[in-house]
């Protein structure tokens, strides 16, 4: 008999769905496996307030396949101009979190915060109403090496935020280092982290040895194998501070395979299968359900999904490319064989 794995239905606590013609692809792929997803607000221009978030949510809802219960959870993008009033209005509109992108840190972060002091009133208001703070945790100063930017952010900014707002719930998104895993593990309650499938499956050798592979380029950038091991350890530890966030971030093929390529890996096509691969390799498939389906909703104070999904152990190959609104999109691990398949 084929080996099977049945899990409480999972959610994705960090995804990029983009907009317009991309939504049919991105929403369809996410909704196939996840019941809820936290939708990143880094559109151009960004989703900065309640009105933007509600309108964006409507555009996403239009692309949810008939009868699918997928629920997009909305986030506003913090800028130097986000104030307490905007936070309160967003909270009233059902926005569950606000995202801090240090200006210039990643894709579409030009409108991000230039000095954390500028958003202290907004953070006060978030702490008061229970809105979560999501962080792209990298400093952007040119003197800091790209491989050290997460660690320096933790030392310079995150440790201060955690102390200055003692009851604010904070998620350090897409962690990539042993430093981040250790910081979150030792931090006060209410500080968590998401981990992507690609940071569990790969390290910088996969991106750079034997030729440069642009589809593995994302931010924060893949680190050494030592950090990959620390992330696998954290994700499969059963510690509820670590939960699933794919950071699936599509860019059309031409924007990746070029002299100055965009950062972002498209994993939504086979996200839960990629995570299953990583947990299976670690011999920790029994820890996947907590990470994928329980610790996220618990952290956010939302109910766990009641229904289940089933994966079967069956080799299958990812397609070489996908259509995204008439453009070609190369999924991460294109053409490679995975050992688990969602039924
Ligand atoms: N992760 C990435 O490399 N890219 C994301 C932005 C982000 O999450 O930092 C994107 O929007 O393309
Ligand atoms: Zn990011
Ligand atoms: Zn992201």
**Mean pLDDT, 10 residues at a time, over the chain (343 residues)?**
93 98 98 98 97 98 98 98 98 98 90 95 98 97 96 98 98 98 98 98 98 98 98 98 98 98 98 98 98 98 98 98 98 98 97
Mutate to test the pocket of ligand 1, among 18, 146, 249, 267 (most ligand atoms within 8 A of CB): 249
CB 240 within 8 A of CB 300: no
Structural contact between residues 137 and 171, judged by C-beta atoms closer than 8 angstroms = no
The binding site consists of: 14, 16-18, 42, 99, 136, 174, 219, 247, 251, 263
Instruction: Name the residue at shortest CA distance from atom 8 of ligand 1.
Output: 247
pLDDT of residue 147: 98
Q: Which pLDDT score is estimated for 170?
A: 98
**Residue whose tokens read 């009641």:** 306
**Burial of 252 per CB tally in 10 Å (0-12, 13-18, 19+):** middle
Q: Which two tokens stand for residue 108?
A: 């579409």
Residues that constitute the known binding site for substrate = 16-18, 42, 136, 219, 251, 263
CA distance 122 to 298: 24
What local confidence, expressed as pLDDT, does residue 71 receive?
98
- The finding on whether 111 has its CB within 6 A of some atom of ligand 1 is no
Q: How far apart are CA 35 and CA 56, in angstroms?
A: 18
State which of 111, 173, 263, 332 you would mutate to test the pocket of ligand 1, scoring each by most atoms of that ligand within 8 A of its C-beta: 263
CA distance 59 to 69: 16
- Give the integer Cα–Cα distance in Å for 224 and 146: 13
Regarding the beta carbon of 41 and ligand 1, being less than 6 Å apart is answered no
Compute the distance between CA of residue 210 and CA of residue 161 in angstroms, rounded to an integer. Answer: 41
* Pairwise CA distance, residues 68 & 15, whole Å: 18
Half-sphere exposure of 72 (CA within 13 A, CB side): 28
Q: What is the distance between the alpha carbons of residues 206 and 154, in angstroms, rounded to a whole number?
A: 26
Which of 12, 29, 52, 247 is flagged as catalytic? 247
- DSSP 3-state of 100: strand
User: What's the pLDDT at 8?
Assistant: 98
Distance (Å, whole) CA 40 – CA 315: 32
Of all ligands present, the nearest one to the C-alpha of 249 is: 1
- From the centroid of its chain, how far is CA 81? 24
Q: Which two tokens stand for residue 301?
A: 């104070």
Within its chain, how far is the Cα of 68 from the centroid?
22
Q: Tokens 């993008």 belong to which residue? A: 77
What integer pLDDT is reported at residue 107 of this predicted model?
A: 86
Q: Is 247 a catalytic residue?
A: yes
What single-letter DSSP state applies at residue 64?
S
Question: Residue 312 corresponds to which tokens in the numbers above?
Answer: 């079967």
Q: Which residues contact 214 (CB under 8 A, 6 or more apart)?
A: 256, 257, 258, 261
296 closest CA partner among 71, 53, 37, 69: 37
> Where do runs of H (alpha helix) occur along the chain?
23-33, 50-61, 84-92, 120-129, 149-153, 159-164, 178-186, 197-201, 204-208, 225-235, 253-256, 271-281, 288-289, 295-300
* Neighbouring residues of the ion ligand 3, judged by CB less than 5 Å: 247
| Test site for ligand 1: of 13, 15, 214, 219, most ligand atoms within 8 A of the Cβ | 219
Q: In DSSP terms, which residues pair with 337 in a beta bridge?
A: 317
pLDDT for 16: 98
**Domains of the chain, CATH where assigned:** 11-304 (3.20.20.140)
């Amino acid at each position: 008999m084929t080996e099977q794995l049945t899990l409480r239905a999972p959610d994705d606590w960090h995804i990029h769905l983009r907009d317009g013609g991309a939504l049919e692809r991105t929403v369809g792929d996410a909704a196939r496996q996840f019941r809820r997803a936290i939708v990143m607000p880094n559109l151009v221009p960004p989703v900065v307030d309640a009105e933007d978030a509600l309108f964006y949510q409507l555009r996403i809802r239009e692309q949810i396949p008939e009868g699918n219960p997928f629920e997009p959870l909305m986030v506003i993008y913090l800028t130097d101009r986000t104030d307490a009033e905007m936070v309160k209005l967003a909270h009233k509109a059902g926005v569950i979190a606000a995202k801090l992108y240090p200006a210039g840190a990643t894709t579409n972060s030009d409108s991000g915060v230039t000095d954390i002091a500028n958003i202290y009133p907004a953070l006060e208001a978030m702490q008061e109403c229970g809105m979560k703070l999501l962080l792209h945790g990298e400093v952007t100063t040119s003197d800091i090496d790209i491989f050290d930017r997460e660690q320096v952010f933790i030392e310079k900014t995150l440790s201060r935020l955690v102390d200055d707002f003692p009851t604010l719930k904070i998620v350090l998104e897409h962690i990539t280092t042993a430093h981040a895993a250790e910081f979150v593990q030792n931090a006060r309650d209410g500080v968590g982290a998401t981990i992507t499938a690609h940071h569990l499956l790969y390290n910088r050798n996969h991106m750079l040895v034997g030729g440069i592979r642009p589809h593995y380029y994302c931010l924060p950038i893949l680190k050494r194998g030592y950090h990959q091991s620390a992330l696998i350890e954290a994700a499969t530890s059963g510690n509820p501070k670590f939960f699933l966030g794919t950071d699936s971030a599509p860019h059309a093929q031409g924007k990746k395979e070029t002299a100055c390529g965009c950062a972002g890996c498209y994993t939504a096509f086979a996200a839960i299968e990629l995570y299953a691969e990583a947990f299976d390799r670690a011999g920790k498939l029994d820890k996947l359900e907590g990470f994928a389906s329980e610790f996220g909703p618990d952290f956010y104070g939302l109910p766990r999904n009641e229904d289940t999904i089933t994966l079967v152990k069956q080799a299958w190959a990812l397609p070489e490319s996908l259509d995204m609104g008439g453009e070609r999109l190369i999924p991460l691990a294109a053409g490679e064989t995975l050992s688990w398949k969602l039924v």
